[in-house]
């Protein structure tokens, strides 16, 4: 069993290790990003300490921010952004309060984001708006997994973040074949080193020695090795399609919250799918 209290020393260690890594890199954007982590991680950890209610609140706040950022990125009108935020918070609340009705909540959310463009009578852009809303709902739905996963979410975030830093530094140092045309600055060398660093973070937290279910261990490893890079590439694809470099610009060194947790979204989804 992994608890928030048991993870605190590892989270502190991850922050220290990350601080050393960004200091070595001497990259101003990475230093700014680390400072954002140093402020955000204690706040999020405090929320998860409260159990499912705290996790649900954190997930809902993140969902609202992501809905606003994604809506702005895709140039969606405010009613569409509000509908997406409402659909996501409803999904999260259902997972917390009535998990047996999750399919109803997901269906209602899809109807909501798809119906808003219809009600506005948008003949020119309605189809695109509806498609964007459904994409946002599917993409951000793994946030609801934060409620049942609890402390595992913190562990995933630490592992993904350490892996991200390691991948950035190794990719710049070793270069080699490009990972994908979607993100030309990323290299296979960085992805491999980042995966090793992420799995090492899981190992340091005792994932392989705490007697966790094998399916959960496999899910966590797959999440940080495969899910995290895929999540990053998926957001790169969306941003390229929207003609933007970042999803937003309010977090120093990270752009927006979506830029910071794009890898975590896919990692949460894979953990939920494989970890049961």
pLDDT reported for residue 253: 66
Query: Same domain, yes or no, for 64 and 43?
Result: no
Residues 93-137: tens digit of each pLDDT: 999 999 999 999 999 999 999 999 999 998 999 999 999 999 999
Query: At 74, is the secondary structure helix, strand, or coil?
Result: coil
Domains in the chain, number: 2
Last residue of a domain, one of 146, 169, 204: 146
Query: Same domain, yes or no, for 166 and 268?
Result: yes
Query: Same domain, yes or no, for 166 and 35?
Result: yes
Q: Is 17 exposed, middle or buried (0-12, 13-18, 19+ CB in 10 A)?
A: middle
Query: Same domain, yes or no, for 121 and 164?
Result: no
Last residue of a domain, one of 146, 178, 201: 146
Query: Same domain, yes or no, for 159 and 267?
Result: yes
Query: Same domain, yes or no, for 127 and 183?
Result: no
The residue whose two tokens read 């649900």 is: 56
C-beta of residue 133 within 8 angstroms of C-beta of residue 71: no
Query: Same domain, yes or no, for 141 and 193?
Result: no
The residue whose two tokens read 């995290």 is: 228
Query: Same domain, yes or no, for 246 and 207?
Result: yes
Last residue of a domain, one of 94, 123, 146: 146
Say if residue 196's pLDDT is above 90: yes
Query: Same domain, yes or no, for 20 and 80?
Result: no
Residues 26-70: tens digit of each pLDDT: 777 777 777 777 877 888 888 999 999 999 999 999 999 999 999
C-beta of residue 161 within 8 angstroms of C-beta of residue 254: no
**Across the strands, what pairs with 102?**
none
Question: Distances in Å between the alpha carbon of 85 and those of 64, 126, 176, 186, 232?
Answer: 5, 18, 41, 32, 22
- The range of the structural domain enclosing residue 129 comes to 54-146
For residue 152, give the nearest of 16, 272, 30 by alpha carbon: 272
Query: Same domain, yes or no, for 24 and 112?
Result: no
Tokens of 136: 């946002």
For the chain, state the CA radius of gyration. Answer: 18
Query: Same domain, yes or no, for 114 and 73?
Result: yes
All residues at 6 or more sequence positions from 227 whose CB lies less than 8 Å from its CB, including other chains: 263, 266, 267, 269, 270, 271
Query: Same domain, yes or no, for 141 and 175?
Result: no
- H/E stretch holding 40 reads helix 28-49
0.85 exceeded by pTM:
yes
């Amino acid at each position: 069993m992994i608890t928030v209290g048991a993870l605190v020393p590892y989270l502190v260690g991850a922050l220290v290790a990350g601080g050393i890594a960004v200091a070595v890199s001497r990259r101003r954007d990475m230093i700014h990003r680390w400072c954002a982590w140093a402020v955000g991680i204690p706040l999020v950890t405090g929320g998860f300490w409260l159990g499912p209610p705290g996790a649900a609140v954190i997930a809902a706040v993140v969902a609202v921010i992501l809905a606003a950022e994604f809506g702005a990125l895709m140039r969606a009108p405010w009613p569409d952004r509000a509908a997406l935020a409402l659909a996501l918070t409803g999904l999260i609340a259902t997972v917390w309060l009535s998990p047996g009705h999750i399919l109803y909540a997901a269906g209602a959310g899809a109807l909501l984001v798809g119906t808003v463009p219809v009600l506005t009578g948008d003949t020119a852009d309605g189809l695109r708006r509806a498609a964007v809303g459904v994409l946002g709902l599917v993409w951000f739905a793994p946030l609801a997994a934060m409620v049942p996963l609890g402390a595992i979410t913190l562990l995933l975030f630490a592992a993904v973040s350490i892996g991200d830093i390691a991948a950035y530094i190794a990719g710049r140092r070793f270069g080699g074949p490009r990972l994908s045309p979607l993100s030309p600055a990323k290299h296979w060398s960085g992805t491999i080193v980042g995966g090793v660093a992420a799995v090492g973070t899981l190992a340091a937290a005792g994932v392989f020695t705490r007697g966790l279910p094998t399916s959960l261990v496999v899910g966590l490893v797959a999440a940080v090795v495969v899910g995290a890079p895929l999540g990053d590439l998926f957001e790169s694809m969306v941003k390229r399609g929207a003609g933007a470099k970042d999803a937003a610009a309010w977090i120093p060194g990270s752009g927006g919250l979506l830029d910071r947790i794009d890898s975590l979204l896919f990692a949460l989804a894979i953990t939920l799918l494989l970890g049961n």
